[in-house]
Amino acid sequence: MKRFEPGFATLSGPRKTELDFSHDSRFRGRGLWPLAGIDEVGCGPLAGPVCAAAVILNPDQPPQGVNDSKALTAKARETAFALICESALSVSFAFATAAEIDALNIRRAALLAMTRAAAGLSVRPAYALVDGRFLPDLPCRGEAIVKGDAISLSIAAASIVAKVMRDAMMRRLAERHPEYGFAENAGYGVPRHLSAIEKFGPTPYHRMSFSPLRKPSEEL
């Protein structure tokens, strides 16, 4: 089977208040099944990993209340996460660490996390829908969709899994380093976090290639 190279998105569309399985069903009708949705979260923070998830939904039992994770409250995400894990045919998530982000750059690290998530699926997909502009290395054909988490139920489900799992990871890191407020800020550069970096310095979980952590000589 030919493996698609990374390419630009082919689809985009308006955001919906709630998604259904209509977009994804078209691929099943074309024989492109099982269908995986893939998304990532955590590209912007100063600390913590980027997390990606891959989800193959059950077409006979699509979860209710699923939308782009950013459009849901934390409580709604947790509820949707439980429904996804209960009903989906396969769910996988994976991380790329802060060290990998520094070594590769954030876009390549995010694609690496997506590749790992796709490889972790217990059901091999025939096709994948990936949120964004680029495709990771996949075990199947696929396409990238700009704002795909507002179009595809499978991608939206992956966005929820990735967000919930990354938030859980940041809470665990907060237990090790409570002074940075990771449980509340998810690693983003809010004032409390920046003050803690100035006072205590960075942790091994900080992204040293990100400003303001990057040294002036590295900005040239």
pLDDT in tens, the chain (220 residues): 223 333 323 333 444 456 889 999 999 989 999 999 999 999 999 999 999 999 999 999 999 889 888 889 999 999 999 999 999 999 999 999 999 999 999 999 999 999 999 999 999 999 999 999 999 999 999 999 999 999 999 999 999 999 999 999 999 999 999 999 999 999 999 999 999 999 999 999 999 999 999 976 554 4
Structure-token pair, residue 111 = 């694609």
Structure-token pair, residue 52 = 């990606």
Residue pair 130/156 in contact (Cβ under 8 Å)? The answer is no
Residue pair 39/131 in contact (Cβ under 8 Å)? The answer is yes
Handedness of CA 84, 26, 143, 123 (dihedral sign): positive
- Indicate the SS3 state at residue 129: strand
> What is the amino acid identity at position 13?
G
Q: Which strands form 50-56's sheet, in the order they lie side by side?
A: 90-96, 50-56, 35-41, 127-131, 141-145
**Which is nearest to 17 in space by CA: 57, 65, 59?**
65
Residue pair 54/36 in contact (Cβ under 8 Å)? The answer is yes
What's the CATH superfamily of 22-215? Answer: Ribonuclease H-like superfamily/Ribonuclease H (3.30.420.10)
Hunting for tokens 């994976």 — which residue is that? 94
Q: Tell me how far apart the terminal alpha carbons of the chain are, to the nearest angstrom.
A: 43
Q: What is the DSSP letter of 198?
A: H
* Helix ranges, the chain (H): 22-29, 74-87, 98-104, 106-119, 153-176, 182-185, 191-200
Residue pair 84/161 in contact (Cβ under 8 Å)? The answer is yes
149 labelled ligand-binding:
no
40 labelled ligand-binding:
yes
Q: How many CB atoms lie within 10 A of CB 175?
A: 9
pLDDT of residue 217: 56
Distance CA 71, CA 110 (A): 21
> What is the amino acid identity at position 41?
V
pLDDT of residue 18: 63
Residue pair 115/137 in contact (Cβ under 8 Å)? The answer is yes
Give the HSE-up count for residue 215: Cα atoms under 13 Å, Cβ half-sphere.
3
131 labelled ligand-binding:
yes
